[in-house]
């Protein structure tokens, strides 16, 4: 093919990929609302664990203000049972006994107010209704923007295999017939690796990354108040970075079969490759060590798996 024909092929592939993305986004508008709730779930779960853990620490550290004073109204086992089995959250407070229902009221006198007379109580509520685990918006139009971003996310995930197919088709246009067969072999594997990377990020990595970030908030003495728009930006970056990174073994095999980089070169330069993988993982993920390590570790495994795959395909020739 001439250079102009390659450009024409690229234009055709881009148009097809864009059409697929538009169709995916249109579908996304119909399912964006449950997708937003699905995206919120890891963050709500992490916030719930964070505040329950802090509540249990306060529960364990509480001591009566005076010797022989009233103790906590529940045992730790009862609190843990209520949290784990019934989905409740709690907040430990102290009140004057006269302010409790059925208590003997006494007039409040600031000069005679006795701190030692305060008694502990636990305020219970369903975890789903706890305001501390709610995710906020700071403007009226932000919710609409979140809805559109969720539709775009759905569209990209749905159209991802089709876009990868168009990219491989453009590559195949400049190959010989025996090389084009690689494209048809790589396409389903490429799609599977992309979805595996997205699934790993969403269903496994998010929990560890959020636990680390919230623990860092606790170490600094800060209470998190996350915004849904910022969290959605995080959700967009991490799974897509994982999905693209998981294409590594296919790229390696493709370069080897074309004779651009041989399997022996991949083997001899593995130390440099690990450095490049760590740099790429830092670029493709947000600025926290957990997400970088969770991407760099499988990429390193995929790199060595790619070396084995290159040698296997070469032995089959």
Which of residues 133, 151, 184 is at a domain's end? 133
Which of residues 133, 167, 191 is at a domain's end? 133
Which of residues 118, 133, 148 is at a domain's end? 133
State how far the Cα of 223 lies from the Cα of 214, in Å rounded to an integer: 9
> Same domain for 163 and 295?
yes
Helices (H), the chain: 3-61, 76-86, 142-172, 177-200, 206-220, 228-245, 248-257, 263-268, 270-284, 289-316
Provide the residue count of the chain: 317
> Same domain for 91 and 230?
no
User: What domain count does the chain have?
Assistant: 2
> Same domain for 145 and 102?
no
State how far the Cα of 59 lies from the Cα of 76, in Å rounded to an integer: 8
> Same domain for 106 and 163?
no
- Token duo for residue 130: 């706890």
> Same domain for 212 and 309?
yes
Sign of CA dihedral 10, 12, 17, 21: positive
> How many CB atoms within 10 Å of residue 22?
12
0.85 exceeded by pTM = no
Question: Which pLDDT tens digits describe the chain residue by residue (317 residues)?
Answer: 677 777 888 888 888 888 999 999 999 899 888 888 887 888 888 888 888 888 888 888 888 877 777 788 888 899 889 888 888 888 888 887 766 665 555 555 555 566 777 888 888 888 888 888 877 777 778 888 888 888 888 888 788 778 877 887 777 766 667 666 766 677 778 778 888 888 888 788 777 778 777 877 777 777 777 777 777 777 777 777 788 888 888 888 878 877 788 878 888 888 888 898 888 877 767 666 777 887 788 888 888 888 888 887 777 66
């Amino acid at each position: 093919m001439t250079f102009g024909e390659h450009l024409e092929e690229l234009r055709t592939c881009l148009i097809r990929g864009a059409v697929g993305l538009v169709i995916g986004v249109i579908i996304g508008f119909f399912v964006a609302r449950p997708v937003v709730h699905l995206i919120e779930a890891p963050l709500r779960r992490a916030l719930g664990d964070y505040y329950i853990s802090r509540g249990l620490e306060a529960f364990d550290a509480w001591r009566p203000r005076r010797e022989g004073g009233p103790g906590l109204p529940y045992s730790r086992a009862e609190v843990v049972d209520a949290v784990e089995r019934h989905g409740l959250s709690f907040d430990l407070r102290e009140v004057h006994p006269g302010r409790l229902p059925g208590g003997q009221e006494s007039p409040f006198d600031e000069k005679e107010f006795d701190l030692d007379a305060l008694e502990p109580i636990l305020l219970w509520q369903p975890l789903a209704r706890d305001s501390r685990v709610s995710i906020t918006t700071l403007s009226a139009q932000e919710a609409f923007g979140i809805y559109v971003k969720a539709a775009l996310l759905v569209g990209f995930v749905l159209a991802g295999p089709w876009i990868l197919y168009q990219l491989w088709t453009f590559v195949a246009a400049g190959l010989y017939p025996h090389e084009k067969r690689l494209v048809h072999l790589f396409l389903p594997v490429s799609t599977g690796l992309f979805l595996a990377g997205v699934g790993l990020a969403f269903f496994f990595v998010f929990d560890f990354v959020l636990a680390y970030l919230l623990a860092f908030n606790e170490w600094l003495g800060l209470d998190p108040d996350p915004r849904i728009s910022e969290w959605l930006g995080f959700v967009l970056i991490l799974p897509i970075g994982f999905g693209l990174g998981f294409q590594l073994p296919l790229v390696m095999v493709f370069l080897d079969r074309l004779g651009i980089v041989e399997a022996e070169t991949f083997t001899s330069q593995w130390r440099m490759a690990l450095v490049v993988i760590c740099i790429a993982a830092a670029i493709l993920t947000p600025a926290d060590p957990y997400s970088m390590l969770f991407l760099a570790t499988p990429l390193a495994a995929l790199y060595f798996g790619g070396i084995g795959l290159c040698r296997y395909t070469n032995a089959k020739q």
